[in-house]
Chains A and B, each alone.
Chain A
Amino acid sequence: MRRVLPPILAAFAAVVLWDVAVRAFAPPPYLVPSPGAVWDTLRDDRASLLASALRTATSTLAGFGLAAAIGLAVGSVLSFSRALASAIYPLTLLFQMVPLVAIAPLLGIWCGNGPPAVIAASALCAVFPVIANTVDGLRSTDPNLRELFRIHGAGRLRTWWKLELPWAVPSIMTGLRIAAGLAVIGAIVGEYVAGYAGADAPLGIVVMASLREFRTEKVFAAVLLAAAVGFLLFGAVSGLSWLLLRKWYAGVR
Chain B
Amino acid sequence: MNRLAIALVAALLPFACKPADAPKPEGDGGPRKFSIQLNWVPEPEFGGLYEAERTGAFTAEGLAVEILAGGPGVPAPQLAASGKVDFAVVSGDQLLTLGAAGGDLVAIYAIYQLDPFGVMVHASNPISSMEELWKSKSTVACEGDLAWVTMLNRKYGGQDLSFIPYSGNVAQFAADPTLAQQCFITAEPVTLELQGKPVKVFPTRDSGFNPYNGVIVTRRSFLDGNGEAVAKLVRAMQAGWESYLAQPAPANEIMAKLNPAMSREAMDLASQRQAAIIRTADTDRLGLGAMVAERWKETADQMVDLGKIKAAPAAESLFRWTSPVK
Contact = CB atoms under 8 A, between A and B. Distances in A.
Tell me whether chain B's interface is mostly helix, strand or loop, or mixed: mixed
B163 A214 contact: no
Interface string A176-202: 000000000000000111111110010
A17 B15 CA distance: 12
A169 interface: no
Interface in A112-128: 113-114
Contacts of A211: 75
A12 interface: no
A32 interface: yes
Given A29-B102, A215-B101, A197 B176 contact: no
B164 A27 contact: no
Contact of A105 (B101, B162, B171): B171
Interface stretch (B122-130, B137-145, B315-323): B137-145
Contacts of B16: 25
B139 A113 contact: yes
Interface in A1-50: 17, 21-22, 24-25, 27-32
Contacts of A212: 143, 145-146
Which of A24, A191, A214 has most chain B Cβ within 10 Å? A214
B144 A30 contact: no
Interface string B71-82: 000010110011
B74 to A, nearest CB: 12
Interface in B161-178: 162-165, 167, 169, 171-172, 175-176
A27 B172 CA distance: 39
B178 to A, nearest CB: 11
Contacts of B164: 108, 113-114, 194-197
A157 interface: no
A214 B98 contact: yes
A139 to B, nearest CB: 41
Contact of A214 (B18, B78, B144, B171): B78
A214 B172 CA distance: 27
A28 B139 contact: no
B6 interface: no
A162 to B, nearest CB: 48
A210 to B, nearest CB: 9
B97 interface: yes
B246 interface: no
Q: Which 8 A-B pairs have the closest CB atoms?
A: A197-B144, A197-B163, A214-B101, A30-B101, A25-B15, A28-B102, A209-B145, A29-B102
